[in-house]
Amino acid sequence: MKTIQVVAVRVSEAACLVVDESDVLSAAELSKAERFRKREDRWRFMIGRASLRALIGERLCVEPDSLEFGANAHGKLHLLSNPDASLWFNTSHSGEWVLHALGDGGPLGIDIEQVKSSMRSLEDFRMVFSKPESDRLRRVSPADRPQQVALAWARKEAYVKAIGEGLNRSMRDISIEPGPDGRPVLAYDRNPPTLRQDWSIRDVPVADGHAASVVWSGGALDVDVREWEMGIGAQGLTVSEAAAHA
Ligand SMILES: CC(C)(COP(=O)(O)OP(=O)(O)OC[C@H]1O[C@@H](n2cnc3c(N)ncnc32)[C@H](O)[C@@H]1OP(=O)(O)O)[C@@H](O)C(=O)NCCC(=O)NCCS
């Protein structure tokens, strides 16, 4: 695969019913799902795990329910037994969408954020944004600021998810800013150095009211973004491209 594949799956009650019917989730995943108090959080988790299983299962030609996931010390998932050692993946969910990124070039991370009107104020983001990021976001008009704050946040979270440390990495010591061509680049990361240094950052076009970004290591690649939907076929859970793109 010479591209990063980004798959968007819409979160809905209907999709959750498909997941229920498919019986694809493990006992541990079902037990985690039951612990969510909010129905939408449960749906996002169940749809995320089921569609991830279906996508990886399809790629590796194995049954989705046979996949076993492990996690690093900070919660990043990997396959316990991976016949394709070059497969990398990551997931994010927010609002009405689950996003998955799959690639074979190196570690990657993806993040989607629902845009909220409260993001007009930078007050809550003092621990998140670097000085250059805050200065830039302060110059954005109040009307456009929530979208830009959500996007800046998604870029940074995708980056710390690509590394695999999540929010254990100090966010305000990381700065992602527009490069000469307008595309985001890692200006600096003053946390302890990571094994990989060649991070690429690309914003992902998603539905109105959301902002998303994907980060990967391993040089320039195309990013292919499509909306997929789940269904039940003779072999169980299926994923196929939806009629309209996200
Ligand atoms: C990673 C993190 C930033 C994600 O935050 P979020 O906005 O709530 O979640 P998102 O929807 O973007 O992503 C969730 C997905 O990220 C993945 N994920 C979890 N931890 C991750 C990490 N450290 N790095 C990369 N991806 C991670 C999982 O696949 C998860 O999907 P799941 O719900 O199916 O398990 C946050 O959970 C974090 O910082 N975690 C680290 C905390 C930690 O160290 N915990 C230790 C005990 S596990």
Query: Which protein residue has the closest C-alpha to ligand 1 atom 3?
Result: 166
Query: Which protein residue has the closest C-alpha to ligand 1 atom 12?
Result: 92
**Which residue in 178, 209, 200, 190 sits closest to 11, CA to CA?**
209
Buried b (16+ CB within 10 A) or exposed e, 1-14: eeebbbbbbbbeee
Q: List C-alpha distances in Å: 120 to 61, 146, 151, 152.
A: 46, 5, 13, 13
pLDDT for res 244: 58
Query: What is the chain's length?
Result: 246
β-pair partners for 91: 100
C-alpha to C-alpha distance for 89 and 111, rounded to whole angstroms: 12
Question: What separation in Å is there between the alpha carbon of 32 and the centre of ligand 1?
Answer: 14
Encode pLDDT of 170-210 as tens digits: 999 999 999 999 999 999 999 999 888 899 999 999 999 99
C-alpha to C-alpha distance for 169 and 149, rounded to whole angstroms: 19
184 in Cβ contact with 213 (< 8 Å): yes
C-alpha to C-alpha distance for 185 and 192, rounded to whole angstroms: 18
Encode pLDDT of 51-77 as tens digits: 999 999 999 999 999 999 999 999 999
C-alpha to C-alpha distance for 4 and 225, rounded to whole angstroms: 9
Question: What separation in Å is there between the alpha carbon of 166 and the centre of ligand 1?
Answer: 6
**Protein residues with CB under 6 Å of any ligand 1 atom:** 45, 48-49, 74-77, 90-94, 109, 111, 157, 161, 164-168
Question: What separation in Å is there between the alpha carbon of 233 and the centre of ligand 1?
Answer: 31
Q: Ligand 1, from 6, 24, 25, 91: best to mutate by most atoms within 8 Å of Cβ?
A: 91
pLDDT for res 1: 54
State pTM to two decimals. 0.95
Residues 6+ apart with CB under 8 A from 232: 18, 21, 22, 238
